Structures are given as C-alpha cells and as structure tokens.
C-alpha cells in the first residue's frame, strides 16, 4: 500500500478532487487529504474525511504534538496537488511554509506533482510562467492543464484534467519515481512526437469488420509520458479501449489505409515516430452491401470465404522516408515458443523494416493485449537491449529513455 498525500487548492475544480480521492483509495492507496484554507470554502472537511477515512487538517497548529507536516512528508510515497491554483503554485515556488500543505511539500523527499487549474489568462501570465519554470527547476512535476470549458462562458487552457487521468499519472510516478527527473527537465521539449496506437478495423461489409485485441494502453502510456517530458504529441488512434490524455492532439482512424494516409501527412514533420498501433497485414475485399446467408446455409458449421488483400506496410514506408535526425520506433507483437526465438524474430523484423528501435513482446495466450502489465524488450540495430517487465507506464518510460539517448547522439 502506497501513501498518497492529496493536496487541494482553493479553486472551483476542488470538487473534482473528491473523485480523485476515491479513485486513489479504491486503487488500494492510503490517501491523506490536505486542503488549503480556501479549498474548504469549496468542499468541506467532512467530505474529505468521509472519502479518505482519515482526519483532515489545514494548519500546522491543528496537531502540534503529532508534528503532522513532518509525519506526512516522511510517510508520503507521492504528493499530488489537484487543483493547484496560481496562488498556491506561487507560494510553493517561493518556498513558503504558511499552512500544512506547503510545509509538507517543503519537507518531503517524495515526488511532487501539481495539476494546475485556473483561468487561461492566469495560466499564461508571465508570473505564472516563471513560477512553473521555478517549480520544475526545483524538481516538482507540473502537468500541463487541459483545454476546455472553464468557469462561466470562458474556454481555453487552464482546465483541470479529469480525475482518471490524474490518478493514472500518480500511478505512473509510484511505479517510476525516477521518471520525475526527466519530466521536470522537460528533456523532450521542442520535439514533435507522433504516436500511432490501438487496433485497426478492416471492413468486411457495411456492418462487419475484422479487428484485433489491442486496447491502445501501451501507446497511451507513451503519449502521456512524452507529453509530461515536454514533447508536442500527436496521437493517431485506431480503435482503443482507453481515453486519450488531455494534453495531446488526436487524429482518429479506422483502417490500415487510414493509418497510412495519416502517417504520410504527419511522419515527415516529426522528430520521433512511434508505431505502437496493431495494424492489419491483410484486409478483406469489402462488399458494398451486407453479406447475407443464402437459403439453406443457416445450419451450424456452414462456411463461407473471404478474399483478403495485403495492406500497406506503414512502418516500412515511414522508415523509407528521407527525414534527417528522426527516430523511428516500431512495435512487434509476436508469438514464439521461447525468448531466444522471440528475439530472433524481432531482430529480423528490425532489419527488414529499417527502424531505429523495435519494441517486441510475446502475445501468446493473451499475455499482453488489454492487460495492465507487460513484458517488452527494446531491440537495437546492435542487438537486444533493455527488457522491462511490469506496468505499461514503466515500459513507456524505458522506451522514451532510449529515444532520448538516440536523439542526444544525433
């Protein structure tokens, strides 16, 4: 069980932190809510205590014998502040320690992540921009806010991301606390990253399709980590079972032909292309009208045939483009009797496609598709490299670490 300190700033988005507290608790974490004085104007103390199951304090003097700010700072595995208002971020950036939340943040050695929420004008104000830069320089992760409807009629960047997205980000930092350093350094800032993900659907007729079991979770994790590290991320999403992060641009596609068209437009302008999509190698010759049973074919076991045609090899096309200083990462979902043969298949595919890195996993017996965990190996031109067994967030961090090293050597 991890200990999560949930700080809540005094903004209208404080109501969303109620769901965040519940999500973190239901995930098995011990959650301690530390609201600011202003936050209690939006959501009262009884609500926080009922949701977390722990007493809630706002002031250092609420529990002097317990030295609450030091106790929480030492026990915390991660501190997340949602919403983080402009005023609260300014106080943290200045090293203030005038309430329980700011003193806890000042005293902790755990990763600290701030999820800002404020009006667009406040987020884009030079003072806030400077404060965010200071916070990141001090080792605090500041998520970029979402864009969308704000309080009143206004709309723009400054919206608090959905609680599910913040909870996933907390899980990422719990699984990969060392990832916070690259996020604070924004080591992919200025890089354009295009990521394809999900599973394509190839039409059989107007109402049926052939598809696969890819959920898009791996690609989403990469997109989330890349954006947190400062990259400008564009996702090309086939069918997925997950919601895309709020901080990325998304192009929706259905088929492998759609994928080829989208990547043909986006890949030439990217610094990094990550082809995590599960694209079909073959597609049916689709019928214009719904395929119906013939009279007498209703018996169980009756068969029919589909004619298949080969789809574009999108990864090979991307690798064949003449784009200097670009890194291309492919994914290979393989079935193999043992790890040695799995790596042989991966090395052969890497050479055949011409990409810089290939991430290979064994999908035999449903081991990976749709699962939270994964087991991948990053294969280089020189041979097998890093193996990651664990969460898809851990794999995403490892893949982007390899990408960053390649970019640094160009």
The annotation status of 281 as a binding-site residue, yes or no, is yes
Q: Say if CB 39 and CB 14 are below 8 A apart.
A: yes
CA torsion sign for 258, 262, 265, 269 is negative
The annotation status of 292 as a binding-site residue, yes or no, is no
Which residue is associated with the tokens 């011409």? 354
Question: Is 212 labeled as catalytic in the residue annotation?
Answer: yes
The annotation status of 282 as a binding-site residue, yes or no, is no
Q: Say if CB 150 and CB 119 are below 8 A apart.
A: yes
Q: How far apart are CA 346 and CA 236, in angstroms?
A: 24
3 state DSSP class of 63: helix
The annotation status of 331 as a binding-site residue, yes or no, is yes
82, 101, 92: which is closest to 34 by C-alpha?
A: 101
| Cβ neighbour number for residue 3 with a 10 Å cutoff | 17
Which residues touch 294 (CB under 8 Å, ≥6 apart)?
none
Considering 125, 131, 212, 361, which one is annotated as catalytic? 212
DSSP 242-269: SPPPTTSEEEE--SHHHHHHHHHHHGGG
The annotation status of 306 as a binding-site residue, yes or no, is no
Q: Say if CB 110 and CB 72 are below 8 A apart.
A: no
Annotated binding site for CTP: 281, 290, 312-315, 331, 349, 353
Annotated binding site: 281, 290, 312-315, 331, 349, 353
Q: Which residues are catalytic?
A: 212
């Amino acid at each position: 069980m991890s200990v999560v300190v949930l700080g809540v700033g005094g903004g209208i988005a404080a109501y969303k932190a109620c769901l965040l507290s519940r999500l973190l608790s239901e995930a098995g974490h011990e959650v301690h809510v530390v609201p600011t004085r202003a936050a209690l104007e939006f959501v009262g103390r009884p609500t926080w205590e009922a949701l977390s199951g722990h007493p809630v304090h706002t002031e250092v003097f609420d529990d002097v014998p317990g030295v609450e700010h030091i106790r929480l700072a030492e026990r915390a595995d991660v501190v997340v502040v949602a919403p983080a208002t402009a005023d609260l971020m300014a106080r943290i950036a200045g090293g203030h320690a005038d309430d329980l939340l700011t003193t806890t943040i000042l005293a902790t050695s755990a990763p600290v992540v701030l999820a800002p929420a404020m009006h667009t004008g406040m987020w884009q104000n030079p003072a806030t921009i400077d404060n965010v830069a200071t916070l990141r320089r001090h080792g605090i992760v500041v998520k970029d806010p979402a864009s969308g409807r704000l309080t009143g009629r206004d709309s723009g960047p400054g919206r608090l991301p959905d609680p599910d997205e913040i909870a996933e980000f907390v899980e990422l930092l719990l699984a990969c606390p060392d990832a916070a350093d690259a996020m604070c350094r924004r080591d992919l800032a200025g890089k354009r990253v295009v990521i394809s993900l999900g599973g394509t659907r190839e039409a059989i007729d107007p109402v049926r399709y052939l598809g696969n079991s890819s959920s898009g979770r791996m690609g989403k994790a990469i997109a989330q980590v890349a954006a947190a590290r400062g990259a400008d991320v564009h996702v090309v999403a086939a069918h997925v079972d997950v919601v895309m992060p709020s901080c990325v641009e998304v192009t929706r596609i259905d088929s492998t032909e759609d994928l080829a068209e989208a990547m043909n437009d986006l890949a030439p302008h990217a610094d990094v292309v990550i082809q995590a999509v599960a694209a079909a190698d073959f597609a049916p010759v689709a019928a214009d009208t719904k395929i119906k049973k013939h009279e007498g074919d209703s018996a169980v076991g009756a068969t029919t045939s589909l004619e298949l045609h080969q789809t574009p090899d999108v990864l090979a096309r991307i690798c064949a483009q003449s784009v200097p200083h670009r890194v291309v990462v492919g994914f290979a979902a393989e079935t193999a009797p043992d790890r040695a043969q799995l790596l042989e298949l991966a090395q052969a595919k890497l050479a055949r496609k011409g990409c810089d890195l290939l991430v290979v996993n064994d999908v035999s017996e449903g081991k990976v598709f749709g699962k939270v965990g994964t087991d991948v190996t990053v294969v280089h031109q020189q041979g097998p490299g890093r193996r990651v067994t664990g969460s898809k967030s851990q794999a995403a961090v490892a893949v982007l670490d390899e990408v960053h090293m390649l970019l640094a050597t160009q």
